[in-house]
Amino acid sequence: MSRIKEFNLPDLGEGLTEGEILAWLVKVGDVIELNQPIVEVETAKAAVEIPAKWAGQVRAIFQPEGTTVEVGTPIISIDTDPGAGPIEESTTAAPSSALPTPSAASLAAVEIAPEEGMVEPGLIGGVAPGGRTAVLVGYGPRNAPAKRRPRKGGVPAQPTPTPTSVDHGVVAGNKATPIATNAAPQLHDRRNGGGGRAGGLVLAKPPVRKLAKDLGVDLATLTGSGPLGSITREDVQRAASGTPAAAEPLTVAAPATAAASFGADREQRIPVKGVRKLTAENMSRSAFTAPHVTEFLTVDVTRAMKALDRLRERREWRDVRVSPLLLVAKAVLLAVKRYPMVNSTWAGDEIVVKDYVNLGIAAATERGLIVPNIKDAGRLSLRELADAMTALVQTAKTGKTSPADMSGGTLTITNVGVFGVDTGTPILPPGESAILAFGAVREMPWVHKGKVKPRLVTTLGLSFDHRIIDGELGSKFLRDIGDFLADPEAALLAWT
């Protein structure tokens, strides 16, 4: 049994078929443990760290950072018994899809393939002498008809050279050339705020690192202008020539899309992939499938804000993050108990009403909009709900939200008020029947007890699927949320 194990990109669930390699957490030659995180991959739903399937020593890395890889494609090879002595170079130079042609002796033990058109004997997938199918050693005979790939201009394939340095562009056709290196790249750690700044590791490709070394430029002193804050050749050349870099915006952590790079035509082209691609597909499907209706309600939330202040002053709540969104979430959960049809899904010939609420909270991240949800939020106490919302937000900010946390949502809140927006007409997440937009809380003139006084006011916007929720049900649901926010203490006494 071979001691060299190829680790394929695993199925990350939820129907995801591919992922983008964001960062390698190990390098060639590292000794790793079982379940140690080895690579960070961005899927259409989130960025996740993938653990090692075996313990051992990293022999080769097949896919560079920034490459989009299909599920099942080899991404790394691991020597599961590094203490057993040296191994042949051919066992680590390429993944199984690029192994050399097996010898004639190894082809003698395979089954006969069905007859097909004329193919050249001895080719992989072709007919070997004796009428047998030539296959890669260790992969068994083909049960399907043998087919031969067309040649490209009749030019024989060149042998794969033994790599001696990292090359972030060695991928040809459907075969990946391993990026086995003697000097592995330093990795950018976004959790420590890298991107060439003090206190973090530098993100730069090996050719850029070599150029910086040749020119005597310290990469740690540069601010990258490339994707994810990576340092480019232009950054290094600018530093070597003494040309000052363009003024950087006065923000602590600007999104990767903030630094636009325009070509000669004064246009920028941003690939649509990952979270943004999935969001676009979901929103388009939802907008043109579910008939949307949006209603608005402006509410005096002065009493609610005072209730929050009293809550913060309580000893057991002093270390808890308390925001107006907490009361909005509680209002939604209580209103769902009164109108359970709002928490349902249209399933064609039936409506599926849920007795649980997986409450989604829309979060804007650098990778796009994601909607993680709190499982069975209706069963949580107010304190448990506050802790769950805090954990959800913190995880989303670090980009570590798992696909499982974003699946199965039944009802969603989007807090547009944090951007100073009064309200909006949100689009339903697929499979859900209602979504609430919570607008900014502003001090406004308001008629209170017959007099115009300054009061804290917000506007709610509820979009719902009109196939399930008619105007009466949607209006009552929104009204009850407003009643709770107008006087949460009275509503708690009356509803619970």
Q: Which CATH architecture has domain 276-495?
A: 2-Layer Sandwich (3.30)
Percent of the chain with pLDDT over 70: 68
Report pLDDT digits (tens) over 181-239.
Answer: 333 333 333 333 333 343 445 677 666 777 777 777 888 777 777 665 678 777 787 77
Is 448 known to be catalytic?
no
* pLDDT bracket for residue 180 (50, 70, 90): very low
Of the pLDDT bands very low, low, confident and very high (cuts 50, 70, 90), residue 86 is low
At residue 152, does pLDDT exceed 60? no
With a CB cutoff of 8 Å and minimum separation 6, the contacts of 195 are: 188, 202, 203, 223, 224, 228, 229, 230
Residue 103 pLDDT level (bands cut at 50, 70, 90):
low
How far is Cα 285 from Cα 282, in angstroms, rounded to an integer?
5
Q: How far apart are the first and last CA of the chain?
A: 64
Strand order from edge to edge, sheet including 31-32: 4-8, 74-79, 56-61, 31-32
- Matching CATH number, 1-98+160-183, of 2.40.50.100, 2.102.10.10, 1.10.287.620, 3.50.50.60: 2.40.50.100
Q: Please check the confidence at residue 268 and state whether its pLDDT lies above 60.
A: yes
Rounded (10°) CA dihedral 187, 188, 190, 196: 160
Mean pLDDT of the chain: 74
Query: Could you tell me the CA-to-CA distances from 218 to 18, 154, 232, 244, 338 in Å, in that order?
Result: 36, 47, 13, 15, 63
Task: Provide mean pLDDT across the span 47-55.
Answer: 84
- The helix (run of H) or strand (run of E) holding residue 332 is helix 324-338
Whether 368 and 279 have beta carbons less than 8 Å apart is answered as yes
- Name the residue ranges covered by the structural domains of the chain: 1-98+160-183, 190-241, 276-495
Q: What pLDDT does residue 228 have? A: 59
Alpha helices (H) along 216-301: 233-241, 274-287
Q: What is the value of pTM for the model shown?
A: 0.54
Closest to 223 measured CA to CA, from 238, 205, 211: 238
DSSP string, 69-90: EETT-EEEEEES-GGG----GG
Q: Provide, rounded to the nearest whole percent, the portion of the chain with pLDDT above 90.
A: 30
- The answer, yes or no, to whether residue 158 has pLDDT greater than 50, is no
Pick the CATH number of 190-241 from 3.40.30.10, 2.60.40.10, 4.10.320.10, 2.40.290.10: 4.10.320.10
Can you read off the two tokens belonging to residue 442? Answer: 């502003």
Band (137; pLDDT cuts 50, 70, 90): very low
Helical packing angle, 471-486 and 488-495, nearest 10°: 120
d(CA 324, CA 82): 56
Tell me the residue length of the chain.
496
Question: What's the pLDDT at 251?
Answer: 29
b/e 223-238 (16+ beta carbons within 10 angstroms → b): ebbbebbbbbeebbeb
Q: Cα-flanking dihedrals φ and ψ of residue 23, to 5°? A: -160, 140
Q: At what angle do helices 471-486 and 324-338 cross, to 10 degrees?
A: 140
The active-site residue, picked from 168, 188, 292, 466, is 466
CA distance 385 to 388: 5
What DSSP element (H or E) covers 336? helix 324-338
> Does residue 105 carry a pLDDT above 60?
no
Return the exposure string of 310-334: e unless at least 16 CB atoms fall within 10 Å of the residue's CB, then b.
ebeeeeebeeeebebbbbbbbbbbb
- 441-495 pLDDT, tens digit per residue, is 999 999 999 999 999 999 999 999 999 999 999 999 999 999 999 999 988 888 8
What are the backbone angles phi and psi of residue 30, rounded to the nearest 5°?
-70, 140
Tell me: the pLDDT tens digits for 311-370? 999 988 988 888 999 999 999 999 999 999 999 998 888 999 999 999 999 888 776 778
Backbone φ/ψ region at 173: left (φ over 0), alpha (ψ -120 to 50), beta: left
Q: Can you give the pLDDT at residue 189?
A: 39
**Which run of H or of E encompasses 309?**
helix 302-313
How does residue 243 score in pLDDT terms, banded at 50, 70 and 90?
low
Residue 447 has what pLDDT? 94
Please tell me the predicted confidence (pLDDT) of residue 443: 95
Q: Which of 183-197, 372-386, 387-401 has the lowest mean pLDDT?
A: 183-197
The tally of CA atoms less than 13 A away on the side-chain side of residue 166 is: 21
